[in-house]
Amino acid sequence: MTPAPPSLGPPVLSCAGRHRDLRLFDRLPAAGDGQGAAGGGDLAAAAHLQLVTVVPISSVAPVPLQPWHYLLPVGSYPPARGPIWVKADMLATVALSRLDRVKGRDARGMRVYQAYQLPAADLAAVYTAVKAALGIA
């Protein structure tokens, strides 16, 4: 029997690179928790912990609607001005170093960095969509 993978903490939404697309990814284990190089693991394990799977979202409704699409509830991504769709058939793997928080401006025009968390039920629906896209549902 394979042991369960360690919990990576609550998921966060963020944007990648110079593009302002929203991304969902799991936080990595904290240093010294027994995972990767910080916990005595090998270099390959440490390198693997620096990669995340990006599940893209879009304001454009998918046509046709498939099991790997999921409509996020209103308010899941506060900057959105309309419906936001998870498109789990367009997965990408990227280095964690290429991700950053969502950048915006406060009322005074000062730059602010934000991260949003999905409720557990919505995250479960995203995972279900990813499984459908990969054919393992």
Quote the tokens at residue 5.
Answer: 């993978």
Query: For position 49, which CATH number holds?
Result: 2.30.30.110
Is 4 a domain residue?
no
Is 94 a domain residue?
yes
pLDDT: which is higher, 129 or 7: 129
The DSSP code for 37 is: G
Is 2 a domain residue?
no
Is 5 a domain residue?
no
Name the residue range of residue 45's domain: 11-134
Question: Per-residue pLDDT for 13 more than 80?
Answer: no
Which pLDDT tens digit goes with each residue over 39-48?
444 555 555 6
- Determine if the peptide bond prior to 79 is cis (ω within 30°): no
Is 75 a domain residue?
yes
Number of domains forming the structure of the chain: 1
Is 82 a domain residue?
yes
Average pLDDT of every residue of the chain: 73
Is 110 a domain residue?
yes
Is 6 a domain residue?
no
Residue at 72: amino acid letter: L
4-to-10, 18, 121 alpha-carbon distances in Å = 17, 35, 20
Q: How confident is the model at residue 119 (pLDDT cuts 50, 70, 90)?
A: confident
